[in-house]
Structure 1
Amino acid sequence: MNTKNIKAVIFDMDGTLIDTEKYYRMFWPKALAHFGYEMTDEQALTMRSLGQPYAPQHLKEMFRDPDLDYTAIRNYRKQIMGECLKKNGIEIKKGAIELLDYLKAQGIRRAIATATDQVRTEQYLKQLGLYGYFDQIICATMVEHGKPSPDIYQYACRQLALLPEECIAVEDSPNGVCSAYGAGCNVVMVPDQTEPDEALRGKLAARVDSLDEIIKLFKKFPGLTKEDEEHQLSKIIEIAQDNLDHAKEDIRKINEDLADLLEVYDAKDKEGLALWNNATARLKEDERELVRYEKARKKPYFGRIDFRDPKAKADEAYYIGRVGITDSSSDPVVLDWRAPIASVYYESRMGTCQYTVSSEGTFEIDLKRKRTYEIENDRLKDFFDSDVVANDELLTKYLAKNKKAVLGEIIATIQKEQNLIIRRSPKTNIIVQGVAGSGKTTVAMHRISYILYNYKDDFRPEDFYIIGSNRILLNYITSVLPELDVYGIRQMTMEQLFIRLLYEDWDETRFFYHNIDKTDAKNSIRGGTAWFLDLEKFCQNYENQSIAKEDIYMEKTGNLLLSKEQIGRYLKNNPKVSMQSKILMLNEILYAKYENEVSGKSVTFPPKEKKILDKKYASYFGDGKWRESVFTFYREFLLAQQEAGKEVDVLENSFDVYDLAALAYIYKRIKETDPVREASHVVIDEAQDFGMMSYRCLHYCLYGCTYTIMGDTSQNIHFEYGLNDWEELKKLILTGTFDAFGLLRKSYRNTVEISEFANEILRHGDFSIYPVEPIIRHGNPVQTVACPDENKLLADTVTTIKKWQQDGYETIAVICRDEAEAAQAAEELKKYVKIVETDLEKAEFGDGVMVLPVSYTKGLEFDAVLLFDPTQEKYPSDNGHVKLLYVAATRALHELVVLYRGKLTGILADKVPEGKHMKEFAAETLTKAAEFERVQHTEKEIEQQRRIEGAKDMAEREYIGPKRIVIKPQGKENEAEARGKTLTGQKMASAYKRAVAAPVRKAADNSGKNEKNHTEEIIISPYEFGAIPDNAILRVKGHSRNNFVIKWIKKTKSYVELSSMYGLLRITPITPEVIRVSFVKGVTEKIGDTAWKGKADTAFSWSAKESKTLVEIATEKVTVRIAKNNGAVCFYNEKKQLLLAEKAEEPRFQEGGCNWTFFEWEKSEHLKAKGLLAADFMDVTAKAKYISHGGKKLRMPLVISEKGYGLAVASKGTVLFCGIRTFEPYIMAEGSQSDYYFISEKNREKLVEIYQKTLTLQPKF
Structure 2
Amino acid sequence: MDSCGSNISITSISDYPIYLPGNSNSLSYIENRHVHIYHGHFGQNSSGWPTAKEDVMVSKDKEALHLEGVISLIDVIYDELTGELSRTTGELIEERRHALAELGSEISDDTQIEYSQVLPSLKMQEEIQVNRQDVAASLGKMKSRPYFGAVTITDDEAGTEKLYIGLNSLKDPSTNDLIIYDWRTPVASTYYANHLGSVTYDVPDVGRRTVNVNERIQLVIEDGRLLDVFDSELYIGDDALQHLLVDTAKDRMKSIVSTIQQDQNAIIRQTSAKDMLVLGPPGSGKTSIAMQRIAYLLYLHRHKMSADNMLFITPNEMFGDYIGEVLLELGEASINATTFYRLHDKLDRRNQYESLFRHIERMRNADREEQHDFLLKSSQTLLSELDRTIAQLAERNLKFRTVRIKDESFVTIEELKYLFYDKFRSSPIDSRLKKIQVELTPRYSAALDKAIKDRTKALKRVHTYIGTDAELERQAKQEMTKQFRTLKRYIAQLQFVNIERIYLDALNELDIETRKRTMESLKNRTLNYEDIAPLLYLNIKIKGQQKEPKIQHLIIDEVQDYSPVQLACISAVFPNARKTMLGDRKQIVHPLPVNTLDQLNAVELTKSYRSTVQITEFTKQLIGNDTTESLGVQGEEVSTMSFETFKEQLKSIDSESVAIISRDASHAEEIHLALNQPDVKLFTHDQFTFTKGKLIMPNYMAKGFEFSYVFIIDYDGYDKEKDKFLLYTIASRATRKLILVGKEE
Give TM-score scaled by structure 1 length: 0.44
Mapped to 2, the partners of 1:649 and 1:583 lie a distance apart of 26
Mapped to 1, the partners of 2:336 and 2:590 lie a distance apart of 25
Alignment map for 1:1161-1180 (pairs within 5 Å) = none
8 Å CA contact 2:324, 2:334 repeated in 1: no
- 2:382 aligned with 1:540: no
Mapped to 1, the partners of 2:303 and 2:120 lie a distance apart of 28
Alpha-carbon distance, 1:680 to partner: 1.4
Residue 784 of structure 1 corresponds to which residue in structure 2?
Answer: 640
Residue 888 of structure 1 corresponds to which residue in structure 2?
Answer: 730
8 Å CA contact 1:642, 1:648 repeated in 2: no
For residue 800 of structure 1, the aligned residue among 649, 667, 684 is: 649
Alpha-carbon distance, 1:821 to partner: 2.2
Mapped to 2, the partners of 1:804 and 1:250 lie a distance apart of 49
Q: C-alpha offsets along residues 905-960 of structure 1, whole Å, 9 cap, x if unaligned?
A: xxxxxxxxxxxxxxxxxxxxxxxxxxxxxxxxxxxxxxxxxxxxxxxxxxxxxxxx
Mapped to 1, the partners of 2:392 and 2:563 lie a distance apart of 25
Alpha-carbon distance, 1:274 to partner: 8.5
Q: C-alpha offsets along residues 1082-1125 of structure 1, whole Å, 9 cap, x if unaligned?
A: xxxxxxxxxxxxxxxxxxxxxxxxxxxxxxxxxxxxxxxxxxxx
When residues 673 and 748 of structure 1 are mapped into structure 2, their CA distance, relative to the original with a 3 A threshold, is closer
Mapped to 2, the partners of 1:238 and 1:383 lie a distance apart of 20
- 2:237 aligned with 1:375: no
Amino acid at match of 1:305: V
For residue 221 of structure 1, the aligned residue among 51, 63, 66 is: 51
SS of equivalent residue, structure 2 residue 680: coil
- 2:589 aligned with 1:744: no
Mapped to 1, the partners of 2:662 and 2:91 lie a distance apart of 54
When residues 528 and 352 of structure 1 are mapped into structure 2, their CA distance, relative to the original with a 3 A threshold, is same
Q: C-alpha offsets along residues 964-1020 of structure 1, whole Å, 9 cap, x if unaligned?
A: xxxxxxxxxxxxxxxxxxxxxxxxxxxxxxxxxxxxxxxxxxxxxxxxxxxxxxxxx
For residue 643 of structure 1, the aligned residue among 512, 516, 519 is: 512
Alpha-carbon distance, 1:426 to partner: 5.6
For residue 309 of structure 1, the aligned residue among 118, 132, 155 is: 155
When residues 676 and 898 of structure 1 are mapped into structure 2, their CA distance, relative to the original with a 3 A threshold, is closer
For residue 233 of structure 1, the aligned residue among 67, 70, 75 is: 67
Q: C-alpha offsets along residues 216-241 of structure 1, whole Å, 9 cap, x if unaligned?
A: 99975264444432221111111222
Residue 412 of structure 1 corresponds to which residue in structure 2?
Answer: 258
8 Å CA contact 2:554, 2:577 repeated in 1: yes
Mapped to 1, the partners of 2:493 and 2:226 lie a distance apart of 70
Alpha-carbon distance, 1:261 to partner: 8.8
Task: Please list every run of 5 or more consecutive structure 2 residues that lacks an aligned counterpart in the other structure.
Answer: 1-31, 38-44, 108-114, 399-420, 436-491
Residue 717 of structure 1 corresponds to which residue in structure 2?
Answer: 589
Mapped to 1, the partners of 2:261 and 2:209 lie a distance apart of 21
Residue 756 of structure 1 corresponds to which residue in structure 2?
Answer: 617
Residue 685 of structure 1 corresponds to which residue in structure 2?
Answer: 557
Q: C-alpha offsets along residues 291-314 of structure 1, whole Å, 9 cap, x if unaligned?
A: 4223311111121111121123x2
Alpha-carbon distance, 1:700 to partner: 4.0
Residue 580 of structure 1 corresponds to which residue in structure 2?
Answer: 430
Alignment map for 1:839-850 (pairs within 5 Å) = 839-850=684-695
8 Å CA contact 2:612, 2:736 repeated in 1: yes
- 2:463 aligned with 1:633: no
When residues 216 and 461 of structure 1 are mapped into structure 2, their CA distance, relative to the original with a 3 A threshold, is farther
Mapped to 2, the partners of 1:894 and 1:315 lie a distance apart of 42
Mapped to 2, the partners of 1:885 and 1:642 lie a distance apart of 34
- 2:161 aligned with 1:320: no
Alpha-carbon distance, 1:325 to partner: 2.2
Mapped to 2, the partners of 1:451 and 1:310 lie a distance apart of 29
Larger Rg: 1
Mapped to 2, the partners of 1:823 and 1:799 lie a distance apart of 19
Alpha-carbon distance, 1:324 to partner: 2.1
Amino acid at match of 1:351: G
SS of equivalent residue, structure 2 residue 68: helix
Alpha-carbon distance, 1:249 to partner: 4.5
Alignment map for 1:948-987 (pairs within 5 Å) = none
Amino acid at match of 1:398: L
Alpha-carbon distance, 1:525 to partner: 2.0
Mapped to 1, the partners of 2:258 and 2:213 lie a distance apart of 19
When residues 478 and 506 of structure 1 are mapped into structure 2, their CA distance, relative to the original with a 3 A threshold, is farther
Mapped to 2, the partners of 1:797 and 1:786 lie a distance apart of 6
Amino acid at match of 1:627: F
Residue 865 of structure 1 corresponds to which residue in structure 2?
Answer: 710
Alpha-carbon distance, 1:877 to partner: 4.0
Mapped to 1, the partners of 2:673 and 2:132 lie a distance apart of 44
Mapped to 2, the partners of 1:636 and 1:408 lie a distance apart of 48
When residues 647 and 531 of structure 1 are mapped into structure 2, their CA distance, relative to the original with a 3 A threshold, is farther
Mapped to 2, the partners of 1:864 and 1:450 lie a distance apart of 32
Q: Larger % of helix: which?
A: 2
When residues 420 and 257 of structure 1 are mapped into structure 2, their CA distance, relative to the original with a 3 A threshold, is same
Residue 719 of structure 2 corresponds to which residue in structure 1?
Answer: 876
Percent identity reads 23
When residues 246 and 784 of structure 1 are mapped into structure 2, their CA distance, relative to the original with a 3 A threshold, is farther
Q: C-alpha offsets along residues 750-805 of structure 1, whole Å, 9 cap, x if unaligned?
A: 11221222223224xxxxx6821101421122221124xxxx3xxx4443333331
Residue 478 of structure 1 corresponds to which residue in structure 2?
Answer: 324
8 Å CA contact 1:815, 1:865 repeated in 2: yes
8 Å CA contact 2:197, 2:214 repeated in 1: yes
Residue 191 of structure 2 corresponds to which residue in structure 1?
Answer: 345
Alpha-carbon distance, 1:813 to partner: 1.2
Mapped to 1, the partners of 2:501 and 2:700 lie a distance apart of 33
Mapped to 2, the partners of 1:751 and 1:634 lie a distance apart of 49
When residues 241 and 409 of structure 1 are mapped into structure 2, their CA distance, relative to the original with a 3 A threshold, is farther
Mapped to 2, the partners of 1:656 and 1:365 lie a distance apart of 57
SS of equivalent residue, structure 1 residue 354: strand
When residues 376 and 480 of structure 1 are mapped into structure 2, their CA distance, relative to the original with a 3 A threshold, is closer
Residue 597 of structure 1 corresponds to which residue in structure 2?
Answer: none
When residues 427 and 853 of structure 1 are mapped into structure 2, their CA distance, relative to the original with a 3 A threshold, is same
Alpha-carbon distance, 1:583 to partner: 7.9
Alignment map for 1:649-1048 (pairs within 5 Å) = 649-650=518-519, 651-652=521-522, 653-672=525-544, 677-723=549-595, 726-728=597-599, 730=600, 741-763=602-624, 771-787=627-643, 792=644, 796-805=645-654, 809-827=655-673, 829=675, 831-836=676-681, 838-872=683-717, 875-879=718-722, 881-901=723-743
SS of equivalent residue, structure 2 residue 195: coil
- 2:375 aligned with 1:524: yes
Amino acid at match of 2:597: W
Mapped to 2, the partners of 1:882 and 1:258 lie a distance apart of 65
SS of equivalent residue, structure 2 residue 344: helix
Amino acid at match of 2:568: R
For residue 363 of structure 1, the aligned residue among 209, 230, 233 is: 209
Q: C-alpha offsets along residues 496-531 of structure 1, whole Å, 9 cap, x if unaligned?
A: 2x336x3xx543x65444233323312222112112
Amino acid at match of 1:876: D
Amino acid at match of 1:707: K
Alpha-carbon distance, 1:442 to partner: 0.6
Mapped to 2, the partners of 1:699 and 1:351 lie a distance apart of 43
Q: C-alpha offsets along residues 12-51 of structure 1, whole Å, 9 cap, x if unaligned?
A: xxxxxxxxxxxxxxxxxxxxxxxxxxxxxxxxxxxxxxxx
When residues 897 and 220 of structure 1 are mapped into structure 2, their CA distance, relative to the original with a 3 A threshold, is closer
8 Å CA contact 2:353, 2:532 repeated in 1: no
Q: C-alpha offsets along residues 420-442 of structure 1, whole Å, 9 cap, x if unaligned?
A: 11111163321011101111111
Alpha-carbon distance, 1:370 to partner: 1.0
8 Å CA contact 2:378, 2:563 repeated in 1: yes
Q: C-alpha offsets along residues 819-838 of structure 1, whole Å, 9 cap, x if unaligned?
A: 22223433554x42423574
Alpha-carbon distance, 1:246 to partner: 4.4
Mapped to 2, the partners of 1:743 and 1:431 lie a distance apart of 9
